[in-house]
Structure formats: C-alpha cells, structure tokens
C-alpha cells in the first residue's frame, strides 16, 4: 500500500507541475523514464534517499508522500453542486479525502475490508432513458426496497453493495458527491439538504457508482432533478425510478383526473410518504405519462418547496455514518489511532467524538 500511495502521489505532483517522466528521471538521476513509470505504477519501491530527493527537489512535504490519511493522485470525485467555485470545491474535496483515506486505511486493519467484487449496472450513455428507468425498477425489486424505497436505500448501499455512505457538513451549494477509489466506492451527502433532496442525490450518485467504468461522470455537475448532459439525465431517470417505482406509485391512484386546485396538496402528501421531493414526484409522473406536462407547469414551485412545509422543521441525520464510526471505534480500541487524532481527523473534540459515537449507537472505545 505504501509503495502504491507514494507512486500515485509522485505522479499527481509531476502532472500538477507539468513535468514529463523524462524530466523526473533527470531530477532523480535515473537512466530512463521506465524507472519513473515503475514507481508511479507501484511496481518499484522508492528508497529513503529517493524520497528525500522528491521532498527537496519537488518542494512537497514528507507527509504528502507518506500520510495514509490523505488522498492525492488517488480516486476520482464527481460533485453535485450549485454555484460553488472550483477553489472552494477543491478545498472541500481535500477535507473529504481525509475521511475517505482514513476509512480506506483503517477498515481492512479492523476486519472491515471492502467487497472483493464490485456490482455494475448494464446501462451505457447510448441507451434510452426508459432503459435507465427500467434498471431503477429492477434495482428496487432485486434488493427488496419495499413500499418506501428511500427508507432502505442507504442500508442496501452499505450492507449489500459495500458502498461507504457519509452524511457530511458541506458548503452551501454542495449537494453531494460520488468518489471512486481502486478499492472503495463512497457517496457523500450534504446532511443539511431537505430529506427528499438527500434521497434523490443518494440514488443519483448510486447510478454513477454502478456505471463509473462505462461512463465516468464529470468532476462537477449542477445539482438538479431534470436536465444536464446525457449521463446526468440517465442518472436522474434511474434515481426517480428507484425512489418512485411504478408499483409504489400505483398506490396513490389516478393523477390524470386530479383537480388543479388540489394537485399541489396531493403531490406534497404523496412525496412525504415516499420521502422524496414533490418536484421530483411531479416530473416522475410526467415521465410516466400519468400527469400532463401542461398540468404540471401550472403548479407554482413555491407550493411544492420542501413539500409545502417550513424547512427549519427538518431533523438532520447525524454526521458520517454508523459503519464509518464503527471502524473508528474499533481502531481506537485496538490502538491503531488515538482518540485525539480521530477527533482531529473529524474536526471534533474528544468529548464531541464520544457524543457522535452515542448518536450512532456505537459503544464508545475504552480510551474515551
């Protein structure tokens, strides 16, 4: 692992400085660039002297090359955001990378290795939106998500698919992200979003995780339930079908004959039951031809916002996740990380860390 990390970070730094492998070979005094290539791919170890040379001549800290609780040159992110500039987004990505890297490093040490095999979804960008919706419907059936799919989606992603799901305190405008590492898949969700938006983001990012190899998503995309490039539209159609499958929508009767005056109330009430946004439900019904587009457009957005309620009444989920906190607790118990360092990693005091374990129902480590 150390060899792979150093090689990946050396490559990232080389590319950031716009250096070729030949440039790096000359800097290290190697005969050819093949030695640099072998280091970057993890096939060749870096000696202590070579590591010192990298620190001195590339102007990077030793921690940059050796700290396991850091993502640099490893992993790819795809963010859902609105009006968040690249500088702020990259800064938050570095913070999120610390949590992901810590879990990636610690989990195998405490017996929580990632699944050996990854699941994938047989959907490509050249296929129709109907195919994406059908895939969403099948996902609900095959994983037994039940009458309110949103309620069990995190559990299925964590327990059945081995995806790390983290509820995080993100900048305003960041909805969430998917992250792909060679050995780990992660979904981040801004816990301050309304519940229906959180679930839609979760299902949307699930699509990206399951189709990453076939159609890698953009590093940053605008967070919305309709529109976007083709990959994003496929993801939206999949997410809508997962959260609002036809078999579940059938319980809510005929929408085509709904009275215009009561339509907003009906949408808000059904959306509350399904734990989705009323806006997402409206456009899902339009896609299924159960609600006329002309009727959908007559409903003011304000009438559907937060399903007709005050957003201040929302109850937030606790930060991070139970599986994540279980790994941190085991690591502290086994002496693999101190409570103080674990708290610093999560930007918490030791007392706050103890409270967070309690929120997730995880027994506090002996050290606390």
When comparing pLDDT for 151 and 309, which is higher? 151
DSSP annotation of 305 reads G
Q: How confident is the model at residue 1 (pLDDT cuts 50, 70, 90)?
A: low
Enumerate residues 6+ apart whose C-beta is below 8 A from 326.
112, 360, 362
State phi, psi for 279 to the nearest 5 degrees. -65, -45
Average pLDDT along the chain: 92
Question: Do 106 and 337 meet the contact criterion of CB atoms below 8 Å apart?
Answer: yes
Tell me the C-alpha distance between 179 and 76, whole Å.
Answer: 6
Domain that holds residue 327: 322-359
Closest C-alpha to 172, from 46, 268, 260, 83: 83
pLDDT in tens, 311-343: 666 789 999 999 999 999 999 999 999 999 999
Same structural domain for residues 158 and 62?
no
Residue 238 inside a domain? The answer is: yes
Predicted confidence at residue 222, as pLDDT, reads: 85
Same structural domain for residues 122 and 37?
no
For the whole model, what pTM was predicted? 0.90
pLDDT in tens, 288-314: 999 999 888 888 888 888 888 766 667
Same structural domain for residues 16 and 78?
no
Same structural domain for residues 160 and 225?
yes
Predicted confidence at residue 258, as pLDDT, reads: 75
Predicted confidence at residue 234, as pLDDT, reads: 96
Same structural domain for residues 286 and 147?
yes
Closest C-alpha to 50, from 102, 38, 98, 67: 38
pLDDT in tens, 222-250: 877 777 789 999 999 999 999 999 999 99
Name beta bridge partners: 184: 181
Predicted confidence at residue 130, as pLDDT, reads: 95
């Amino acid at each position: 692992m150390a060899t792979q990390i150093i090689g990946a970070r050396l490559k990232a730094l080389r590319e950031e400085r716009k250096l070729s492998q030949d440039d790096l070979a000359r800097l290290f005094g190697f005969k050819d660039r093949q030695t640099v290539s072998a280091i970057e791919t993890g096939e060749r170890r870096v000696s202590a002297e070579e590591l010192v040379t990298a620190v001195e001549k590339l102007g990077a800290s030793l921690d940059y090359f050796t700290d396991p609780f850091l993502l640099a040159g490893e992993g790819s992110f795809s963010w859902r955001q609105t009006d968040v500039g690249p500088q702020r987004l990259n800064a938050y990505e570095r913070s999120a990378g610390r949590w992901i890297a810590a879990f990636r490093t610690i989990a195998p040490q405490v017996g929580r290795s990632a699944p050996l095999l990854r699941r994938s979804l047989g959907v490509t960008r050249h296929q129709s939106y109907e195919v994406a919706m059908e895939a969403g419907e099948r996902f609900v059936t095959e994983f037994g998500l039940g009458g309110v799919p949103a309620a069990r989606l995190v559990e299925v992603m964590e327990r059945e698919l081995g995806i790390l799901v983290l509820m995080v305190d993100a900048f305003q405008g960041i909805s969430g992200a998917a992250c792909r590492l060679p050995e780990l898949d992660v979904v981040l969700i801004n816990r301050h979003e309304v519940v229906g938006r959180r679930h839609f983001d979760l299902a949307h990012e699930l699509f990206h995780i399951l189709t990453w190899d076939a159609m890698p998503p953009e590093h940053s995309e605008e967070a919305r339930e309709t529109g976007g490039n083709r990959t994003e539209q496929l993801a939206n159609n999949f997410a809508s079908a997962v959260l609002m499958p036809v078999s579940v929508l059938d319980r809510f009767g005929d929408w085509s004959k709904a009275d215009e005056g009561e339509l907003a109330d009906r949408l808000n009430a059904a959306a509350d039951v399904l734990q989705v946004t009323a806006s997402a439900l409206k456009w899902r019904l339009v896609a299924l031809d159960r609600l006329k587009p002309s009727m959908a457009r007559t409903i003011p957005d304000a009438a559907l916002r937060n399903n007709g309620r005050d957003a201040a009444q929302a109850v937030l989920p606790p930060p991070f996740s139970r599986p994540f906190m279980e790994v941190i607790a085991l690591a502290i118990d086994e002496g693999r990380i101190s409570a103080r360092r674990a708290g610093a990693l999560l930007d918490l005091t030791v007392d706050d860390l103890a409270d967070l374990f309690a929120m997730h129902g995880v027994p506090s480590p002996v050290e606390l």
